[in-house]
Structure 1
Amino acid sequence: MDWDLLLRLAHIMGAVVLMGTGAGIAFFMVIVQRSRDPKLIAHVAGIVVLADTLFTATAAIAQPITGALLAWSLGWSLWESWIVVAIGLYLFVGIFWLPVVWIQIRLRDLAQQAADQGEPLPEAYHRLYRIWFAFGWPAFAAMIAIFWVMLARPNFW
């Protein structure tokens, strides 16, 4: 068995899961938001929280592990400039992703409370949704930048 190939596959699959789940979650949250139906939003947000827990969190933990093992296996220093930049971008994504997880849980709970009470979504829900939406853009852009850095492996310094 080719250890390097297995590590590359695991690292690529982790990146695919992170980007794919993130894009899917964003799509479903944006689409369901347009319904303004608290019951439907609570249901979809519950699935989103589950998907983030099962897929995104697992891949987010696996990525640095597979990346470090891969670098070690290939003889690359973790201090090579492109690796340092990729790690920095990854941490940047995490700065936006961690609050988003909490926000998604709150959005689900606020929508469920509104559905249970037969009321429209409260202003707190709309405020949190706007923050959730805004946080997605820099995280998504940083993920694209990570892909570029990992493929091009430029010498930044």
Structure 2
Amino acid sequence: MTAFTATAALVQPITGYLLARNVGWSLLEGWVVLSLGLYVFVGMFWLPVVWMQIRMRDLAREAHEAGKALPDEYHRLFQWWLAFGFRAFAAVLVVVWLMLTKPNIGQ
């Protein structure tokens, strides 16, 4: 799963740049700048989430093998994972809205 997500994260800005250049959009248009900023914002939340998911998987496996309940650390990580995930997902929705509507921002 990480291979697909990481590949998309790398390919998306490249294809977006090529599309913008092909269509004639300036990368300095307000909606493009805001979209790029939100893309970086999402990335800042995505990287810790990957670590959290791996750690939560390991904790769940250890608890299962030991026949114990999930530890408190798992539940704390889950809360952070949820908080990060909602913010990143909301930012992605805003990026999609910006790409669909191309509002006139800062002009």
Shorter-chain TM-score bucket reads over 0.9
Residues 99-146 of structure 1: CA distance to partner in whole angstroms, max 9, x if unpaired?
Answer: 100000000011111112221111111100111011111111111100
Partner in structure 2 of residue 61 of structure 1: 10
Give aligned-pair identity as a percent. 59
Partner in structure 1 of residue 21 of structure 2: 72
Structure 1 CA distance, aligned partners of 2:85 and 2:68? Answer: 28
Residues 20-67 of structure 1: CA distance to partner in whole angstroms, max 9, x if unpaired?
Answer: xxxxxxxxxxxxxxxxxxxxxxxxxxxxxxx2x132211111110100
- Residue 77 of structure 1 and its aligned partner are, at CA, apart by 1.5
Question: TM-score, structure 1 length as denominator?
Answer: 0.65
Structure 2 CA distance, aligned partners of 1:155 and 1:89? Answer: 17
Aligned residues: 106
Give the SS at the match of 2:26. Answer: coil
User: Which structure 1 residue ranges, 5 or more long, are not aligned?
Assistant: 1-50
Question: TM-score, structure 2 length as denominator?
Answer: 0.93
Structure 2 CA distance, aligned partners of 1:141 and 1:123? Answer: 27
Higher RCO, Cα 8 Å, sep 6+: 2
Partner in structure 2 of residue 99 of structure 1: 48
Partner in structure 2 of residue 117 of structure 1: 66
- Residue 98 of structure 1 and its aligned partner are, at CA, apart by 0.9
RMSD: 1.0
